Amino acid sequence: MVTAFIFITTKNGKEREVLEKLRARENIVKESHMVYGDFDIITKVEADNLDILNNFITKEVRDMEHISMTSTLIGL
């Protein structure tokens, strides 16, 4: 099992919309919260392996409408 934290910056005013889309992916998204600071959303994800995690981040999160930037930290 691979755990990662994705820090997300959204377009202005689109935080809740993105948050709802992330939370709908409850099979991989374990927690997702709006936050103050340099990022708008922090999301904890768990995947069976790095390939699944990579696919989720590159093909789903980064392609999601209204996301400007992501930064991912993978847990040890």
| pLDDT one-digit tens code per residue, 20-37 | 999 999 999 999 999 999
Let me know the angle formed at the C-alpha of 10 by 8 and 11, rounded to the nearest 5 degrees.
165
pLDDT of 67 reads 97
CATH of domain 2-74: 3.30.70.920
Q: What's the CA gap between 8 and 38, in Å, rounded? A: 9
pLDDT of 16 reads 97
| Residue 50 pLDDT level (bands cut at 50, 70, 90) | very high
Q: What's the CA gap between 53 and 75, in Å, rounded? A: 12
Instruction: Check residue 54 and report its DSSP letter.
Output: H
Q: Write phi, then psi, for 20 (nearest 5 degrees).
A: -65, -40
What is the pTM (predicted TM-score) of this model? 0.94
- Three-state secondary-structure class, residue 55: helix
pLDDT of 8 reads 98
Domain segments of the chain as ranges: 2-74
